[in-house]
Amino acid sequence: MKFWQTTENLPSFEYAKATTQRFAKSFYFSASILPESRRWATYAIYGFCRYADNLIDNPRNRTNEELLNEVDNFARELEIAYRTAESEHPVISAFIQAANIYKIPKKYPLELLEGVKMDLTISRYETFDDLYIFCYRVAAVVGLMMTHVLGFKDSSAFYYAEKLGIGMQLTNILRDIQEDKELGRIYLPLEEMAIFGVTEREIFGEEMTEKLLSLMKFQAKRAHNYYQESEPGIPMLEKNSQYAIYSASKIYRGILTKIKERNFNPFLGRVFVSKGKKLSILAQEIIRTRFFESTESWTPKPNLKLTKDVLVKSE
């Protein structure tokens, strides 16, 4: 019997599937075309990540201390599950089965939980290096876990998966500046805000200045560079999984395009890629990667330290 169909596992996997279908319709559609085993493992990973995010994003009436304890308790149950290969927790139950089948290291989900906790304890990041740690924990490790599930032909794929995750989280940050400031958070590195002459007062006052425009262009270029740097890794995945990552990359780049179309003004409401556009991208990538041999040849790009001068010159 398949691992997700056993009497013990089926309820938790069905719950993970329902969670994915409810919260991530495009992702659910994309996952539904994966080979069956990878599909159910993907549901389990998404269910785990969504549950972890919801602990903080839906604080209910709990104090920060209570929320931190809740995340820590969740982490302890996860560690026990890695040791015993089982859990009565409905989310961890499915996740640990997928983790065992696809050999997902324990350090990745634990890093994710540390990233979730950062939103309770940190509302500013002094440097990009500081922000990188957050982006790695909440986004890149998801890509690293999914690389195990999607299958890879070269272990270098993990390096590129990390870069794609960083690019996607930077895109989220640019998209959500207005929403985040309502929560008292600014994810733009303070050091770079100072370089461009942008103040916190201007962010909270929703003042779209030329200085903020320049900073937004700089950040968008950085995100774009991470997408470019990630490209060599996608052909390293198993062929029947590549469409999912090509699609995710293109959809997130589409968010950057939408931001650019608004002249990088983050105070005009959240931008999004339409459902129709997402489905179109998915269909195109499924056809291209499954029925046509790729003619693309990627050459790895150097992992340059991105500075204001480098990015401005490359625009």
**pLDDT for position 298:** 40
**pLDDT for position 293:** 57
Length reported for the chain: 315
Give the 3-state secondary structure of residue 62. coil
Parse the chain into domains and list their residue ranges: 1-118, 122-315
Per-10-residue mean pLDDT, the chain, length 315:
92 97 87 93 97 94 96 98 97 98 98 97 98 98 98 97 98 97 97 98 98 98 98 96 95 96 97 92 90 51 42 37
Contact at 8 Å (CB) between 144 and 108? yes
Instruction: Please give the model's pTM, rounded to 2 decimal places.
Output: 0.91
Position 67, amino acid: L
Contact at 8 Å (CB) between 141 and 165? yes
The answer for residues whose C-beta is within 8 angstroms of residue 40's C-beta and 6 or more apart is 2, 3, 4, 13, 16, 17, 98
Alpha-carbon distance values, 310 to 22, 142, 305, 307, 313 (Å): 42, 29, 9, 5, 5
DSSP letter, residue 160: H
Cα 273 to the center of its chain, rounded Å: 16
Alpha-carbon distance values, 9 to 6, 13, 16, 99 (Å): 5, 6, 11, 13
Superfamily for the 122-315 domain: Farnesyl Diphosphate Synthase (1.10.600.10)
User: Rounded to 5 degrees, what are φ and ψ at 66?
Assistant: -65, -40
Instruction: List the structure tokens of 78.
Output: 């996860």
The span from the CA of 200 to the CA of 181, in Å, is: 9
Contact at 8 Å (CB) between 137 and 111? yes
Angle at 125 between CA 27 and CA 160, to 5 degrees: 45
